[in-house]
Structure 1
Amino acid sequence: MYICIEGIDGAGKTTQCKLLKDWLDKNGYKVELIREPTQSPIGKLIRKILNEPNLPTAEQQKVLGLLFAADRLLLRDKIQKAKDEGIIIVSDRCFYSSIAYQEPEDWIKEINKFAIKPDIVIILDIKPENAQERFEGLERFEKKSFLERVRKKYLRIAEENECFIVDANRGINIIQDDIRKIIAPYLGICR
């Protein structure tokens, strides 16, 4: 199974992925945690670009979109192999992040058409002002107006793709409990 946790920056994706992995491990499943962008050379280049102080131009945004798509292609075989071996993949982001964060949307969808679609997508929905309280300083993608636009896209993505939405404005353990309630029936785990 391939499970992805999505949401705006500051929603708590990384924390919830780790907690989900620990819970699945304790229930006897083999679990691998992945994160986008990856630690591949392409992923490292993406992180470098994202940490630049100036916003990329429209053309640089397209290059960034291509880099994300290429980084995902590197994950394709890894995810499929894990699924074939009965390993659960828990991912901190997937191609829905590019759809939510990048433009133009039709082009982003096209260049990501070969990405593996997760079996379960959980979107952590949080108000931008609550997400910002979780940051140390603000980066360019973490401005409230931008996060609000991305949040609206995630809610639309959830509606169009049968993703689960979890209210991430609450405490860590409550959020994790909601995630477990979603996952448990798919795996036959008794709560």
Structure 2
Amino acid sequence: MYICLEGIDGSGKSTQIKLLEQWLYNCGHEVLRVFEPTDSKVGRLIREMLRNPHATDENFQRTLGLLFAADRTILMDKIIDAEVEGKVVISDRCFYSSIAYQNGAEWLSQINKFARKPDLVLLLDLEPETALMRCEGKDSFEDRSFLEKIRKKYLKLAKEEEFFVVNANNGINKVHEDIKRIVARRLGMCV
């Protein structure tokens, strides 16, 4: 199974993925944790570009959309191999991030057509003000109006694509319990 956690910056994805990985491991599952951007050369270039003060500008976002699609293509073999080995794959973001952040245009769907669609997407939803308080450091994406715009896109995507929306305003343990319940149902497990 391929599970993806999505959400705006500061929504708790990294924390919840670590907790989910440990819980699945404790339940006897082999797990592969992946993230976007990856550690590939393309992924490292993306990380560097994300620090640019103009990273939220429309043309810059188009460039990032292309780079994310390339990075994602590199990641697909790793995901497919893990699934063949019977592992549960959990990802910190997937192509839905590009649709939300890079303005959801049709061309993004086309350049990501080789990306494996997750079996389960969990959207960690919270208010941008809360997200900003959680964010470490300051970058172009840590702006209330920008995060509000992205949050609205994610909520629209969640409705269209039938994501599970998890209230990430709750404490870490409550969010983790909510995630466990959803994942357990999909894997046929008891919590």
Shorter-chain TM-score bucket reads over 0.9
- Report the counterpart of residue 180 of structure 1 in structure 2: 180
Deviations, residues 153-190 of structure 1 (Å, cap 9, x unaligned): 00011100111000000100000000000000122221
- Report the counterpart of residue 137 of structure 1 in structure 2: 137
Q: SS of 2:147's equivalent?
A: helix
- Report the counterpart of residue 117 of structure 1 in structure 2: 117
Bigger mean CA deviation after superposition, 181-190 or 87-96:
181-190
- Report the counterpart of residue 79 of structure 2 in structure 1: 79
Q: Give the Å deviation of 1:57.
A: 5.3
* Kept after mapping to 1: 8 A contact 2:5/2:124: yes
Q: SS of 1:44's equivalent?
A: helix
Q: Give the Å deviation of 1:53.
A: 2.8
Runs of 4+ in structure 1 deviating by more than 6 angstroms, as ranges, are none
One-letter amino acid matched to 1:187: L
Whole-angstrom distance in 1 between the partners of 2:97 and 2:61? 14
Whole-angstrom distance in 2 between the partners of 1:167 and 1:55? 28
- Report the counterpart of residue 20 of structure 1 in structure 2: 20
Identical amino acids, percent of aligned pairs: 55
Q: Give the Å deviation of 1:142.
A: 1.4
Whole-angstrom distance in 2 between the partners of 1:57 and 1:168? 27
Deviations, residues 73-105 of structure 1 (Å, cap 9, x unaligned): 001111111111100101000000000001352
Whole-angstrom distance in 1 between the partners of 2:113 and 2:83? 19
CA RMSD of aligned residues (A): 1.2
Q: Give the Å deviation of 1:107.
A: 1.6
Inter-CA distance 41–90: structure 2 relative to 1 (3 Å threshold): same
Q: SS of 2:123's equivalent?
A: strand
Q: SS of 1:141's equivalent?
A: coil
One-letter amino acid matched to 2:69: A
Structure 2 gap segments, 5+ residues each:
none
Aligned pairs, how many?
191
